[in-house]
Amino acid sequence: MAITFTQYVDSRLHDARPRELLSLLKRRVELIDGALQALPTVEFGHDAPSRIKWDANTYQWRVTYWVIKRTRRQTWKAIYAAIDMIQPVLYTEIQTAVAANLIALHKSGATTFQAR
């Protein structure tokens, strides 16, 4: 089994300009990456941030993660706790093969990313 989740920052929740929100998202991504890298049997990846804009003053920056637990010794509870400690999110189960494929496609995004 694997999971996916989306980390986002929203202009309706934070009074900031787009670049400031992107900086906030980058900081969260760095913290989540560090927390997941500290778990020895977890494989993960994420895409580059994408900006969604509804009108002149309403927008979000989003990054989607895929996480695979490779052994039974690692618990999902510990993985969820590592992520939720930074910013709680909604998790969705996905097939391991799907997550592995998405991680491989976005391999360069596992530790650094460029805004698009």
- The answer to the question of residue 116 being in a domain is no
- Structurally, how many domains does the chain consist of? 1
- The answer to the question of residue 94 being in a domain is yes
- The answer to the question of residue 115 being in a domain is no
- The answer to the question of residue 9 being in a domain is yes
What is the structure's pLDDT at 16?
82
Rounded Cα–Cα distance for residues 90 and 19 (Å): 25
- The answer to the question of residue 69 being in a domain is yes
Bridging pattern class, strands 50-55 and 58-69 = antiparallel
Question: Side-chain half-sphere of 114: how many Cα atoms within 13 Å?
Answer: 2
Domain of 73?
2-109
The model's pLDDT over 87-101, given as tens digits with 9 standing for 90+, comes to 999 999 999 999 999
Residue whose C-alpha is closest to residue 46's, from 103, 114, 116: 103
The model's pLDDT over 10-69, given as tens digits with 9 standing for 90+, comes to 988 888 888 899 999 999 999 999 999 999 899 999 999 999 998 888 899 999 999 999
The rounded Cα 24 to chain-centroid distance in angstroms is 13
Confidence tier at 2 by pLDDT (50, 70, 90)? very high
Rounded Cα–Cα distance for residues 94 and 32 (Å): 19
- The answer to the question of residue 114 being in a domain is no
More confident residue, 34 or 108: 34
Please give the single-letter amino acid code of residue 105: L
Assigned token pair, 32: 């989540």
* CATH number of the domain where residue 16 is located: 3.30.70
